[in-house]
Amino acid sequence: MLTATQVKTLKPKDKLYTVNDGAGLSLEITPQGSKRWRFRYRFNNKPMRKSFGVYPDVSLARAREKRDAARTAIADGIDPFIVVEETIQTEVSAKTFKEWSEYYMDKVANNVSETHLVRSLKGWKKDVYPEIGDMLINDIKPKDIIRILNNMSNRGAKESAKKTFSSISRVYDVAIANYPDEVELNPCKSVSLKDVVGSSKTNNYPIITGDKELGILLNLIEQYPGHISTKLALKLIAHTFVRPINMRYAEWDEINLKAKQWIIPAAKMKTNKELIVPMSKQSIEIIKEAKENSTGSKFLFPSPRGQNTPLSDAAMVAALRRIGYTKDEIVAHSFRGIFSTIAHEHGRYTHDVIETQLAHTVGSKVSQAYNRALYLKERTEMMDWYSNHLDYIMSAVKKL
């Protein structure tokens, strides 16, 4: 059995893992550090799973209380899910927004990503619960939602305000869908998000696309005097323009040198879809050099702190600062925009091919149905072309 101290001190690992407390109760710890209680049981000879909430909001003692109540229901031949539904049914008019948000998280836990749940809970704790957390679900009015949005907008958190607004609305949607006779209208439906927060603005990262300027940057990365993992990660991200988190957590079992492909699993992708990254000869050379410097590590680019630790979130950014660039000039994420701009301007490949390699959604709803090898031939050619283009501008700068 777990102790309260153990639960508090459990550290995240590279992959999600579970620690059992016994009798079906366990604690899941994500790579991001969030901790969520899970209860597994069998009912009518079918394996089932229920979320008991997020730690520390739900303590070890409280999770055990929920588990014991659920096991009592099972022993009486009653599905614990039904017990929860009936409890809410009889007390619906006395439920606060906070309680309904917890119901929402239990209801959708198996159908949405852990990232969504963690992000929603973070937003509720900071901005929503202080304003409407203790208000009854049917007492909350559009003016209360607007007050939350204004508070967030006034401190410059407009994009977060939009996400929080969406998460509040989803709580109401799920509550109404399950209890249409008890829960009244969703107040968010009467709020014009655009009028309160303003129009969406694309969060564009700074980019460098001029041949001379980009050539100088690439040569400075080549000459970077810091840790070899950071240098090689920057070189590879310039050629593959994957998201920085995918570069930091890249593992050797994702690399297929024979097929000349890096296959990033769906679990690591923002889109939750596997991405094939065709590798140019330049990328393969970088990877081979990384192999020589990461002996014994599962990561392509282990941290200077140890072979079993990936590069930190700040490693590549710090390197860019060290070679003389400010945050207003370039960040690690900028290489995606650099590629997109250059590829579109040169016109050799279609928008859909470019956006597919960037792991963006393109095309009609039919074409959006995931195909792991979509445009793979064109994307492979494009990756070779782009690496050759980078080599060309690097050489041109050296000759100046």
Structural domains counted in the chain: 3
Same domain for 329 and 182: no
Q: pLDDT value at position 383? A: 97
Which of 148, 174, 203 marks a domain boundary?
A: 203
Measured in degrees and rounded to the nearest 5, phi and psi for residue 263 equal -105, 105
pLDDT-derived band at 46 (thresholds 50, 70, 90) equals: confident
Q: pLDDT value at position 361? A: 67
Q: What is the pTM of this model?
A: 0.53
- Which position has the higher pLDDT, 279 or 78? 279
2 has a pLDDT exceeding 80: yes
Q: How many CB atoms neighbour CB 333 within 10 A?
A: 18
Q: Mean of the pLDDT values across residues 368-392? A: 86
With a CB cutoff of 8 Å and minimum separation 6, the contacts of 317 are 327, 331, 332
Nearest to 375 by CA among 342, 351, 340: 351
Q: Mean of the pLDDT values across residues 382-396? A: 94
Which of 88, 111, 130 marks a domain boundary?
A: 88
Which of 203, 219, 252 marks a domain boundary?
A: 203
Q: Mean of the pLDDT values across residues 317-328? A: 92
Q: pLDDT value at position 371? A: 66
294 has a pLDDT exceeding 60: yes
Q: What is the enclosing helix (H) or strand (E) of 283?
A: helix 281-293
Nearest to 273 by CA among 358, 208, 179, 359: 359
Q: pLDDT value at position 319? A: 94
> For residue 188, how many C-alpha atoms fall within 13 Å in the half-sphere facing its CB?
18
Cβ 320 vs Cβ 330: under 8 Å: yes
- Which position has the higher pLDDT, 378 or 122? 378
CA-to-CA distance for 218 and 224, rounded, in angstroms? 10
Measured in degrees and rounded to the nearest 5, phi and psi for residue 39 equal -125, 120
Instruction: Read off the CATH number of the domain in which 295 is found.
Output: 1.10.443.10
Instruction: Read off the CATH number of the domain in which 20 is found.
Output: 3.30.160.390
Same domain for 76 and 108: no
Residues of the chain above pLDDT 90, percent: 40
Same domain for 181 and 225: no
Same domain for 335 and 302: yes
Instruction: Read off the CATH number of the domain in which 107 is found.
Output: 1.10.150.130
Position of tokens 């988190």? Answer: 245
Q: Mean of the pLDDT values across residues 39-61? A: 81
Q: pLDDT value at position 119? A: 73
Nearest to 1 by CA among 18, 34, 23, 32: 23
Same domain for 342 and 198: no
- Which position has the higher pLDDT, 258 or 47? 258
Q: The domain containing residue 281 runs over which residues?
A: 211-398
Same domain for 103 and 176: yes
1 has a pLDDT exceeding 70: yes
Q: Hey, what amino acid is at 333?
A: H
